């Protein structure tokens, strides 16, 4: 009699354990798959975003003299402009300095003008120039960074435009 009671307890415990293990495995797998899909879409969106940003910056913008229309201290003058840094022969120093001033005055309002929803950091460097625009991701512990380097002309000198699109939030399940 004692052996039958013992074997019934074991069988019952094993059944409960297997059901619990199967349930945990199913839930874990489902969450993992959802997170993987969300993360993959987030990275894809960032890759598309940096491609769009690099294209935008190497165009002249709209209107082509947008920097003379914009008053940096008056955000309402930023409406109806699209930012591009291209000038008549390479990048326009005036446009670069205007974008830099806009970014320093109100960084958040420059992101839609550039067509990005993520944070950005742009550096232009050559032997004589070192200009930075946007937020350096270093102090913010970014969780994802997309980078592109574009050779450009600035003041008739070959210059490297280094663009980083970054976020410090996760691409988790929303």
What is the residue-level pLDDT of the chain in tens, covering all 174 positions? Answer: 455 556 777 888 889 999 999 999 888 877 765 555 455 566 778 888 889 899 989 998 888 899 898 888 888 888 888 899 998 888 899 999 999 999 999 999 999 989 888 999 999 998 888 999 999 998 988 888 899 999 998 888 899 999 999 988 765 433
Instruction: Report whether 165 contacts 118 (CB < 8 A).
Output: yes
159 φ, ψ (degrees, to nearest 5): -135, 150
Counting Cβ atoms within 10 Å, is residue 129 exposed (0-12), middle (13-18) or buried (19+)? Answer: middle
Integer CA distances (angstroms), 111 to 14, 24, 107, 119, 126, in order: 57, 42, 7, 7, 25
pTM across the whole model: 0.72
Measured distance CA(80)–CA(57) in Å, rounded: 16
Measured distance CA(57)–CA(154) in Å, rounded: 13
């Amino acid at each position: 009699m004692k052996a039958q009671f013992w074997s019934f307890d074991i069988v019952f415990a094993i059944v409960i354990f297997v059901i619990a293990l199967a349930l945990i495995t199913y839930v874990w797998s489902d969450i993992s798959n959802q997170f993987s899909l969300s993360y993959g879409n987030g990275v894809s969106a960032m890759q598309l975003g940096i491609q769009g940003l690099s294209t935008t910056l190497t165009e002249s913008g709209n209107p082509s003299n947008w920097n003379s229309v914009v008053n940096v201290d008056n955000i309402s003058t930023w409406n109806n402009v699209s930012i591009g840094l291209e000038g008549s022969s390479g990048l326009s120093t005036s446009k670069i300095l205007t974008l830099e001033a806009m970014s320093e005055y109100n960084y958040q309002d420059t992101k839609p003008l550039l067509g990005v929803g993520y944070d950005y950091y742009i550096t232009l460097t050559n032997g004589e120039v070192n200009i930075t625009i946007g937020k350096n991701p270093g102090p913010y512990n970014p969780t994802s960074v997309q980078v592109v380097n574009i050779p450009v002309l600035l003041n008739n000198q070959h210059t490297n435009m280094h663009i980083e699109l970054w976020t410090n939030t996760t691409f988790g399940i929303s």
